[in-house]
Structure formats: C-alpha cells, structure tokens
Amino acid sequence: MSLLRDALIVFLKELICFVRDRNIVINTILMPLFLYPTTFWVMNQIMLLQQGAVQQQVSKVAIVNGDQLPDLMDVLSDTDMVELVKGWAPVSSEGVDVLLDIREAHYNADNPCFKIKLDYDQANDYSIAAKKKILTVLDQFREQILLSVTLVHDIPSVVVEPFTVEIIDIASDQKMGTYFISLLLPMMIIIMAAMGTFYPAIDIIVGERERKTLETTLLSPTSRLAIVIGKFCAVVLAGIVAVFLNIVALALTAAHTLFLMAGNGSVGFSLPLKSIPLILLTTVIISACFGAACILIASYARNFREGQSFVTPFFILSFQPAIVSALPGISLTTGLAFVPVANAALMFKEIINDEYHWDKIALVLFSLVLYTGIVLIAAACRLKNENTFWREKSETLKKSFHLSQRFQFWRKP
Amino acid sequence: MTAMIDAQKLTKIYLDKDRGEIRAADEVSFSCRRGEIFGLLGPNGAGKTTTLRLLSTVIRPTSGKAIINGYDIMTQPEKIRASIGFLSATTGLFPRMTASEILYYFGRLHHVPAAELKARVEKLVQLFEMEAFLDVRTDRLSTGMKQKVSIARTLVHDPPVLIFDEPTVGLDILVTSVMMRFIQSCKEENRAVIFSTHIMSEAEKLCDRIAIIHEGRIHATGNLSELQSLTGKKFLEDIFIHLINRAEQDLTHEPV
C-alpha cells in the first residue's frame, strides 16, 4: 500500500507540474483540442466547396458528328452547366474540356447501335470534371433508350447495349508526370521551407541565449542590426537548402511513385526551364517569410524547448493553405494571390504546368514580399529590443508590446 | 590621472508585472583609472551585472551617463564595445566552433586587421598555452581550457578596459587561480579593470578600490583602509555586512 500511496503522491505532483508547464499545455491540451480539428474541418470544407464549384463549372464539350444523334444533342443541350461546341476542337486548357466523336452511328429506335469516343485530359481538373458530367448524361441517355426498346420489343434490358463509350485520356505520360508533380511539389516546397527554417530560427536567439553565447556576440562592436541580418540570412539559407535538397531527393525518387500513381510504366515529368528562376525566387521569399515569422515567435520563448512548442502550432498552421494546390479546380485568382502560402502554392502549380499569368504572378510576388517585409520588420523590432536578449522569465504579450519597449527600436543601440 | 571609466548616476529601471518598478541600478556612480582594479562587491541580485551590462552598452540606462575611454555609452556604443573586453559566466563559447575559429571570429567582429589578428591570436595561444587544443571544438574542452579560450577571446582585440563579471563562478580552485593571476596581469599591463564579485577574498586580494553595492545602489566606495575607517571594521566581510545592514535599515526607515 505504501508503494501505491507514494506512486500516487508522485503522480499528483507530476500532474501539477504538467498543467503548469506551458509546453505541455500547448502541445498536449490546446493543440489536440483546437488546432487539428479546426484545421482539418476548414480544409475539408474548402475541399467540399471546391469540388462542388468544379461540378458547377460550365464544361465546354465539342461534338463531332453530333447531327447524327439529335436525341443526344437534345439531352446535352438541356443539361445544365454544359456548353456545346459543334465540330472538332482540341481538348486543352484553352480549348474544350471534352471531345465527343460519334462513330458508326446507325441509330434508329429498332436497332440502336453507335459508338462514342470521349477524349479528355486526365492532367486537367476541369476536363476530369467534364468527363464525369458527360458520362452521367450518357448513362441517363442509355437508360432512356433501353426503356423505349424494352417497352416496344419486350426484350430484357440486360441483353441490349445501345452504345459503347470509348474513353481516351489524351494526356501524355510526360504531362501526367508533370501534373502529379504539380500537385506534390508546391506543398513540398512550402513544407520544406518551413521545416528548414524551423530549428535554425529557434536556435539563433533562444538556443544561443540558453548556451550563453548570445551575450558574447552582442559585446562585439558590430551593430545589433548586422547581427540580426547575419543570423536571419543563415536561417533563410537553411530554408533554401532544405527546399533544394528535397526537390533533388523528390526528383530522384518520384519516378517510382509516379509510376504507381499513374498506373503506367512510362511516366516522366519535366519542369519548364523558365519556371526554375521563378520557383527559386519565390522559395527565397517564402523561406525569408517563414524564417522571420519563426524568429519572431521563438523570441517570446524562454528556452529552446519552449521555442519549439511556440513555433510548432504556427508551423502546422502555416502550410495548411498550401493544400489548395492539390485540390481540383482551384486556380490562381486575384483574391487568392493575396492569401499567403496558398498564393505561392498555386503559383508553383501553374508554372510547373507551364501556365504563366504574369499579372497574377506579379501580385503573388508583391504580396509575398509585402508580408515578408511586415514580418521581418516585426522580427527586427523584437530583436532590437534588449528584453528579447535577456529575458529569462515568462513574458506576457501585453508586456511584450509595452510602448516604452517598442520605442527603443528607434533608438540607436 | 583621467578616469578610463566614469559612471555618473547610472540608473536602470525595469517594469515587472508582479513587482512593479524595479531599480536594478540606482544612480550608480564610480570611476576607474588605467592600471587600477576596481571591485564591485555585492550579494546576488545587488545590481552588479546590470551595472556592467550598462557599461558594456548591451543594455541602455533609463537615466545617467558613463564615459569609457573617452566614449559616451549613449552615443558611441560601438566604440565603447571596441574598447572593452567583457568576461562573465554568461559569455559562453560557441560549442560547435574550435578555439581558433572563435578567436578569429571575434577578432574579425572587432575589425582587427587580418595580419594583426593572426599575430595577436598566435601571441594569445602562446601566452595561455592553448596549442594542444586550438583546433578542438570547445564542447570537448575541459572547464579550464574553456576559461583560457574565453580569456583569449576577451583580449583578442587588445582592449584598454576589461570588465569581469563574477568570472570565477563555477570554477575550481586551479582555474580560479589562473583567472586571478590573469586579472592581476591586466593591471600590470596598465589596463583599467572592473571586477564584480560576491567573494570577499577575491575582492580583498585583487581590488585597489571597492564599491559595496546592494539593491542597485552603491553604499560605499574606497580602498580597504578607507572602508575600514568608514565602518570601524577590520575585515572586508564585516565591512560588507555592516554596510548592507545599514543600507537595509535606511531602506526600512525611508519615508514613503
């Protein structure tokens, strides 16, 4: 009994320590309670909305030999969200979403027999949605024909096949590979930029304070701004290196994954050459933004462990918007160009697919630079404040933003 | 002789959520000449570190001023930091860098010309017998070796002013002895030295003049004989306790 009693005493003491430990409260209680459910609920809602939006999108359908099937033309004309184009047109992002080519059509009520060739692009979200829509219409049309045939001739519906549909994916292996890469790579770049800056950003202030090396550096005649810039650049470089190495590793290992995903033995992918400078530039800006944000958040921590628990929720939240790049049908709009992280992810996706909307790209770069600048100034203000370097006790947000401390930034150190 | 360090009413006030206004340094005034070791003697939390950090310009005073080597701490902080060597228990060494890398790094941050820096590092390595561990990462060094690297780091830019903030805390008797000899040698090299400690024997042994600091205020300054005549006590420990008790009585009777 004494053993159990003592164990209980220790257990209760540990519980008291747990609830008084900010790291445990954040990671064990607050994160599961609020962060993950909220994040995943929001993402789920966005996905459902987006899927609905894609289905509601007007699909452009070209029909070759459509005049031979007036009934089908009538059904398609009556279908909502379908725009018919008579005659041949290419399936592409600028052309139509689906091409229907009606062949061997000897249609009459007694002997219905025709073949429909459906061309679509598996690497195009709108084309996939249009294909789904058209197949539903064709199924309904088949039911209609079967009903009339079985009623007139008393033939069991199971033995009648009024038409066949041949579905052809026009996307090349290369295009499919690039499509899959465009779903993965934007998220990878953003997650890796965040991960690459995560530890260095915590280490440069909190880690150094803990190791008692920060004061040694501050005692040199170098300006504090130079120290901050030097440290910040190191953090950004860590983010860039992480992204670069991950892209290389992804490129080396993705072929097998692509093979499995596409179900085809000859999948490949390529990055348009002109996309690379833009991807690199954006990676630098994104890394700078994450780096500055992580430094800013970590500066409120007393030690490395606390720094980790402060930055982790931000880290998880920050790359959630990148998931939009993997959702069907979301493209870069003027509004989305101002949504941090999501804008970069969508821009990456489009340029990987060799689509360049320079006005939107300019907006994305402008907004990213703007946000980075704001976070960087906030981080610099924080690091200019002498309390950031000496703080060893808990600091409330109210105290952190105390006016007398804020104005110290504008004084020469 | 002109003072190398001249502190005038240095005050640092912190606002604490629970305790309100805290005067970590309260109108601290003293001076220190070349070739002099000036001691700041006080218990833990007396304001020694705050005062020395104010002098080293890593924190800014709420009021008051100080001139070091002719430079003002408020307007010429970078020149001040170039003039001082600061060593304390909180000035650690980068664990993932070697002794040599650390010396060159700080030499460059102090803008010591390359050729001069090389000669300076070689001299310090020889002086502190660091040849054997010069290229070893500092996290693999013993406490004594680390202390030697720290001292060399403090001297790499050949500063005329040296500030030591409780430099013997946590050191064993042998390393403490090295440290004490080094501080004594700084006096012989005609540098101005400020030395803070709460260990009476160290202050008694090293300091030409001593300031007794408590609750952020200096309560008495002078050499040992001056402090003896001021308090009527013979030993520094008794002098210290006498002054601290008197200061606390003054605080208790201070009108609100």
DSSP A216-272: HHHTSSS-HHHHHHHHHHHHHHHHHHHHHHHHHHHHHHHHHHHHHHHT-TT------
Chain A: residue nearest B82 by CA? Answer: A221
Q: Which of A14-18, A214-218, A303-307, B219-223 has the highest mean predicted lDDT (pLDDT)?
A: B219-223
What's the pLDDT score for residue A395?
Answer: 46
- Rounded to a whole number of angstroms, the distance from the CA of B27 to the nearest CA of chain A is 20
Residues in A closer than 8 angstroms to B111, CB to CB, are 221
Report which of residues B14 and A93 the model is more confident about. B14
- Rounded to a whole number of angstroms, the distance from the CA of A227 to the nearest CA of chain B is 10
Containing A151, the helix (H) or strand (E) segment is helix A125-153
Mean pLDDT of A115-123: 87
Least confident of A12-16, A41-45, A190-194, B12-16: A41-45
A216 touches chain B (CB under 8 A): yes
pLDDT at A263 over 60: no
Alpha helices in A57-124 (DSSP H): 70-78
- Model-level pTM? 0.74
What's the pLDDT score for residue B161?
Answer: 95
In the predicted model, what is the mean pLDDT of chain B?
Answer: 89
Give the dihedral sign, CA A39/A43/A44/A45: positive
What's the pLDDT score for residue B135?
Answer: 93
Chain B: residue nearest A412 by CA? Answer: B75
Q: How confident is the model at residue B74 (pLDDT cuts 50, 70, 90)?
A: very high
Report the percent of chain B where pLDDT is more than 90: 55
pLDDT, tens digit, 9 for 90 and up, residues B14-56: 887 777 888 999 999 999 999 999 999 988 888 999 999 999 9
What's the pLDDT score for residue B106?
Answer: 93
A212 touches chain B (CB under 8 A): yes
Residues in A closer than 8 angstroms to B95, CB to CB, are 211, 213
pLDDT at B228 over 80: yes
Q: How confident is the model at residue A158 (pLDDT cuts 50, 70, 90)?
A: low
Domains of chain A and any CATH numbers: 1-56 (no CATH), 57-171 (3.40.1710), 174-410 (no CATH)
Report the percent of chain A where pLDDT is more than 70: 82
**Segment 391-410 of chain A within 8 Å of chain B by CB:** 396, 399, 402, 404, 408
pLDDT at A402 over 70: no
Helix axes A125-153, A70-78, angle to 10 degrees: 130
- Rounded to a whole number of angstroms, the distance from the CA of A374 to the nearest CA of chain B is 26
A215 touches chain B (CB under 8 A): yes
pLDDT, tens digit, 9 for 90 and up, residues B162-213: 999 988 887 788 878 888 888 999 989 999 999 998 888 888 889 999 999 9
Count other Cβ atoms within 10 Å, centred on residue A314: 17
Asked whether the beta carbons of residue A222 and residue B153 sit closer than 8 angstroms, the reply is: no
> Cα separation of B9 and B15, whole Å?
19
User: Is the Cβ–Cβ distance between A98 and A167 less than 8 Å?
Assistant: no
What's the pLDDT score for residue B67?
Answer: 95
Asked whether the beta carbons of residue B75 and residue A412 sit closer than 8 angstroms, the reply is: yes
The 3-state DSSP class for residue A359 equals helix
> Cα separation of B207 and A284, whole Å?
54
pLDDT at B226 over 80: yes
What's the pLDDT score for residue A242?
Answer: 87
What's the pLDDT score for residue A413?
Answer: 39
User: Is the Cβ–Cβ distance between A413 and A223 less than 8 Å?
Assistant: yes
> Cα separation of A238 and A71, whole Å?
63
What's the pLDDT score for residue B82?
Answer: 93
Residues in A closer than 8 angstroms to B56, CB to CB, are 219
- Which residue has tokens 């901050």? A228
> For residue A118, what are the β-bridge partners?
A100, A167
What's the pLDDT score for residue B121?
Answer: 95
End-to-end CA distance of chain A: 62
- Cβ within 8 Å of residue B121, ≥6 positions away: B100, B103, B104, B107, B152, B156
Asked whether the beta carbons of residue B89 and residue A212 sit closer than 8 angstroms, the reply is: yes
Asked whether the beta carbons of residue A215 and residue B111 sit closer than 8 angstroms, the reply is: no
pLDDT, tens digit, 9 for 90 and up, residues A323-382: 888 776 778 888 889 989 999 999 998 888 888 889 999 999 999 999 998 988 888 787
End-to-end CA distance of chain B: 41
pLDDT, tens digit, 9 for 90 and up, residues A3-23: 888 788 888 888 887 777 777
A217 touches chain B (CB under 8 A): yes
Residue A398, token pair as written in the block: 């109210």
- Rounded to a whole number of angstroms, the distance from the CA of A198 to the nearest CA of chain B is 19
> Cα separation of A392 and A302, whole Å?
5
In the predicted model, what is the mean pLDDT of chain A?
Answer: 79
To probe the interface with A, which of B13, B14, B17 has the most A CB atoms within 10 Å?
Answer: B17
The CA-atom distances, in angstroms, between A146 and each of A67, A162, A164, A254, B42 are 21, 7, 13, 46, 101
Residue B9, token pair as written in the block: 């009413």
What's the pLDDT score for residue A267?
Answer: 56
Query: B-side interface with A, Cβ within 8 Å?
Result: 15, 17, 56-60, 75, 77-79, 81-82, 84, 86, 88-95, 106, 109-111, 153
What's the pLDDT score for residue A52?
Answer: 72
Please tell me which of the candidates B82, B92, B111 has its beta carbon nearest to residue A211. Answer: B92
pLDDT at A387 over 60: yes
Q: How confident is the model at residue B129 (pLDDT cuts 50, 70, 90)?
A: confident
Report which of residues A280 and A57 the model is more confident about. A280
Chain A: residue nearest B139 by CA? Answer: A211
To probe the interface with B, which of A208, A215, A219, A392 has the most B CB atoms within 10 Å?
Answer: A219
> Cα separation of A121 and A178, whole Å?
13
What's the pLDDT score for residue B55?
Answer: 94
CB-count burial class (<10 Å; 0-12, 13-18, 19+) for A154 = exposed
Asked whether the beta carbons of residue B94 and residue A213 sit closer than 8 angstroms, the reply is: yes
- Rounded to a whole number of angstroms, the distance from the CA of B189 to the nearest CA of chain A is 22
Residue A231, token pair as written in the block: 């440290």
Residue B40, token pair as written in the block: 């700041």
Asked whether the beta carbons of residue B88 and residue A221 sit closer than 8 angstroms, the reply is: no
C-alpha closest to that of B75 among A411, A132, A171, A349: A411
Mean pLDDT of A83-98: 83
Report which of residues A301 and A103 the model is more confident about. A301
Mean pLDDT of A380-403: 59
Asked whether the beta carbons of residue B17 and residue A412 sit closer than 8 angstroms, the reply is: no
Please tell me which of the candidates A215, A216, A221 has its beta carbon nearest to residue B82. Answer: A221
> For residue B222, what are the β-bridge partners?
B210
The CA-atom distances, in angstroms, between B230 and each of A218, B123, B221 are 39, 44, 10
Domains of chain B and any CATH numbers: 3-253 (3.40.50.300)
C-alpha closest to that of A254 among A236, A271, A275, A230: A271
C-alpha closest to that of B100 among B116, B85, B118: B118
Asked whether the beta carbons of residue B90 and residue A212 sit closer than 8 angstroms, the reply is: yes
Residues in B closer than 8 angstroms to A386, CB to CB, are 58-60
The CA-atom distances, in angstroms, between A40 and each of A36, A43, A62 are 6, 5, 39
Asked whether the beta carbons of residue A411 and residue B82 sit closer than 8 angstroms, the reply is: no
Q: How confident is the model at residue B103 (pLDDT cuts 50, 70, 90)?
A: very high
Q: How confident is the model at residue A396 (pLDDT cuts 50, 70, 90)?
A: very low
Count other Cβ atoms within 10 Å, centred on residue A230: 13
Report the percent of chain A where pLDDT is more than 90: 7
What's the pLDDT score for residue A254?
Answer: 65
Asked whether the beta carbons of residue B78 and residue A211 sit closer than 8 angstroms, the reply is: no
The CA-atom distances, in angstroms, between B212 and each of A108, A132, B218, B219 are 113, 86, 6, 6
